[in-house]
Structure 1
Amino acid sequence: MTRRLLVSYLTLAALVLLCLELPLGYVYSRAERERATNAAHEEAEAIAGYASLTLAYQHPDELSAQVTACAERIGGRVLVVDPAGALLATSHPLDAADQAALADRPEIAAALRGGNGADVRTSSIGGVNWLSVAVPVRHGATLQGAVRLIVPTGAIADDVHQVWLGLALGGAGVLVAVGTVAATLARWIGRPIRELERAARTLAGGSLTTPASVTTGPPEVRVLAATFNRTAALLEHLLASQSAFAGEASHQLKTPLAALRLRLDNLEPDVPPHLRGHLDAAMTETDRLARMVESLLALARMEETALTPEPVDLDRAAKDRVHAWGALYERHGVRLLLLGAPVGRALAVPGAVEQILDNLLSNSLRVAPAGSTVTVFRRLSGISAELHVADQGPGMTAEQRRRAFDRFWRAPDAPKGGTGLGLSLVQRLTLASGGEAVLLEAPGGGLEAVIRLQTLTPRHPGGFPLPLPRRRPMAGSKAGAGVGAG
C-alpha cells in the first residue's frame, strides 16, 4: 500500500516536471541560438559598414586591421571579399585553394547576390560547430563585396548543456522533496489500512481482540475502520451466540435424553408384545436424537476453538478404525477391507481422521446390503494423501451428492436412524485440516467418499495416482442414499 502510493506520487511529480522542464529547456536552447545568430549578424553588419567606408576612401590597410581586431574580440574569423569573390581582407591566413573557393560558399554567394545568409555548419577542424554569417558590403546602391563572419558555437552548446543539467538537477531535487513528503503521506494513509488488514486477519482467526484504529488516517479510512469494527463486533456476537446456543442446547439435552433412554429400558419387561414395536421405535428415535446431540456438540466445539493441523499417521488411523468396525460389519454380513499402499503422514487436526472415518464407515454400514463389501482405500496423488471409503449400496444422484454436506440434509430414501450431521462434520473436519472432501459415484455402483489431506513427504512427485480396484456390483442394489445418508 505505502509503496504503491509512493510510486504513484513520484510518477505524477515526474510527469509534471517533464511537462514543465522539456519545453523550458527547448525554449531556452532555441533562444540562445537565436541570440548568438543575431549577435553575429549585427557584428557582421558593423564590419560591412566599416568596410564600405574604407573601400570607398581606399584604405585597405585599415580594413585588415579592423577585421583582425573584430576576430580577436569575438573569438572567431572574419574575411572580406570583392564583388567577384576575391579576398580583400582576412583575420586568418587562407591558402590559394580556399581563396579560390570563397565565391562558391552558399552564404557568400547569397550575400554577393544582394541578400544575406546565416547557417550552422560543422567544420573539418576538430569537429567544432561554427556559426557562419555573410552580409553584403554596399556604398549607396553599389555592391562593393561581402563580409563573412564565423564564430564557434561551443560556448553556446556549453551554456545549453549547463541549463539542461541544471534543470535535471532541479528536477531530481524536486523529486527527492516530493518523495520525502509522499513517503510521509503514504505512511499516514497506509497505517490505518494496515490496521484494518491486521484486524481482518484477527477476525478471520476467530476473534477481534484489538479493533482497528478510528483516530488516524484520512476521514474516509476512519469511517471505514469504524464500520469494520461495528461489523466485526456484530459478527463476533452472532457467532458467539450461535456457538453458545449449540453448545448449551447440546449439553442441556444430553441429560434428559439419557434419562429417557433409561426409562425406556426399564419399561421393556412390562410392555406387552403387541406394543413392543412402538417401544423399539421410541428407543431408536431416542438413540438417533442422542447421536444428533453429540454431533451438534462436536460442531460447536469446532467453531469455538481454532484448530491447528498436526502430522497424523494415516495408515495407523485407517487400520485402527477398520479393526474397530470389523466386528460390527461382520454381524451385519458386510465385508470391510483396507486396501492400497501405505501413504505415510499427513496434516490434520487432532482426532479428525478418526472422526471422519467413523462417520463415513457408520454411513456406509447403514446403506450397505448384506453380502456386499465396503472398501477403505489409501493412495498418494501428487502432494495429497487420499482416503477413499466406497460402498456397494444404492448410491446418490449428482444433485444429492452436491447437497450431502449440508447440515441436517438427508436423502429422501435414506435409511432410518441418520441425523444429517455426519457428512457436515466430515467436511468441516477436513477443511479445518486444510484438505478437501468430495463424494463420487463408486465404480460398479454405490458411493465413494474421498478425503484429501496434504502429505508431509509425497512419494509420487509426478502426481500419478494409484489405480483403484474394480468392484463388481452386488445383487440387490437399488437407487437411493449411500455413504452420505446420514
Structure 2
Amino acid sequence: MAISLVTVVVLVRSVLWRDMDERVNQLLGQETSEFHNFVEVGRDPRTGEPFDDPRRLLTDYLERQFPEPAEELLGFVPDSPGGRLIRQPREIRADLPLHEDQDAVERVLGAAERSGTLERPAGEVRWVKVHITTGGSDEPAVLVVAFHPQEAMASVRDVVRVLMLVAVLALLMTCVVGWWVAGGILKPIRLVRNTAHQLTEQDLSRRIPVRGSDDVSALARTFNAMLDRLERAFATQRRFVDDAGHELRTPITIVRGHLELMSEGADPASVAERRETLRLVSDELDRMSRIVEDLLLLAKAEQPDFVRPEPVQLAELTADVFVKARTLGERRWELAEVADGEWDVDPQRITQAMVQLAQNAVGHTGVGDTIRIGSRPLPGRVEFYVADSGPGVPDADAPFVFERFWRGPDRRGGGAGLGLSIVRAIAEGHHGRAELRPTPGGGATFLLTLETS
C-alpha cells in the first residue's frame, strides 16, 4: 500500500509539473505569435500606415495586451531618447520583477537563444524574446515575454503536499483496518493453535466453533474432523484395552483355578479328572484366542486398509456364502434370492460378515428351522441378508445387538458378544450399515446395506 501510494504521488506530481510546463510554453508561444501577427498587420493610429518606429510599435502593442498576473511583457529599444525600457504600468506577482533586475535583463538580452529559463535567487523566470527590425535601426528592438512560475509551482507543491497527507492518512487507515481484518481472519487460526495446545491424550473433546464458509472456516472444520478421528482412535484404543482386560480376565481365572486344583492335595488326581481339567483349560484357551482375534479384528477396523474393495459378481458371492453357511448346522437352508450385476466390495469381509450372521442364526434356532440367505439390488445400494425363523430379538434389546460384548438374556453358546460388532464394522468399512429387522412370521433378519461409493 505504501509503495502504491508513493507511486501515485510521484505520478501525480510528474503530471502536474508537465501540465504546468505545457501551459507556460503555450502561453509564451501564444504571446510571440500574437506579436508577430501585430508586426505584420498592425497600423500606426496617427498615420494609418505600418509602424516605422519600433518604440511606437512596442508601446502601442503593450497598451493593448492583458497578460496573466505572473506574466511580464517588456520592450527594449536601443539608443531611444525616451529610454531603453518600455513596460506596462502594473504590478507583477513576483518577488523581483524582471525589469527591476538589471543583471537578469542583460543576461536575457545577451543570450543567443530565442527562449530559455533564467535561474535567479529571487525565483525562476521562463522567457522568450522577439527581435524587431522596423525602422532600419542597426540594433534591433526586442520584445521579451517573461513568466514567473513561482505561484504555479507553489500550487503544484500544495497539491502534492495535500496528496501526501491524504496518502499518509490512507496508509494509517489501511494499517488500522488491515490490522483489524487480519486479526479477525487470524482469530480462528489462533483458536486452532490454542486448542491444539490444550489437547491431551485424556481430553480430546474440545472443538473449534465454525462460522461462515471461507477458507479459515474450512480449516476449522478440517481440524475438527481430525480431532473427531483422533478421539475415535483413542476411544477405540482405550475400549480395546478395557475389553481385552475384561474378557480375558475370566478365561485366565478359570485356567489358573483348574491348574491350582491339579496341584492341590496329597492324593494324585485321577486320570479322568486330569483329562476333564485339561479339556476345560483347552476350551478356555481357545475361547481366549478367539476373543483376542476378534478384538484385534475390531481394532483393525479403524484402519483405512481394513476393507479392500474390488469388482465382484454379486450372484457368485451370494452363492459362495450360502454354500459355506449351510455347513454350520442342521437347518433348512434356503437361497432366497440373488442379486445380479457387479459391485465393488471386499469379498472376504462380506463372506466373513455373512457367515457370522448365519452362525448367529444357527445359535438362535433349532434343528429343522428355516434360515434364508440372499441378496437384492436396490436404487443406489445392495442388501445382503440372513433371515431366521427363531424367537427373534425383543424390541428392548434391538438397539444394543451390535454393541460389543452385549448378550441377550436368552443367549445360547459361549461367545464373547463380538460377532455382531464385527459385522457392523465390516458394513461401515464399506460405507454402509448393519440393520436388524423382524422376519415376517417370526424371527430376526440381519441385513448388510452397502451404499454406492
Q: Shorter-chain TM-score category?
A: 0.3 to 0.5
| CA radius of gyration, larger in | 2
More helix by share: 1
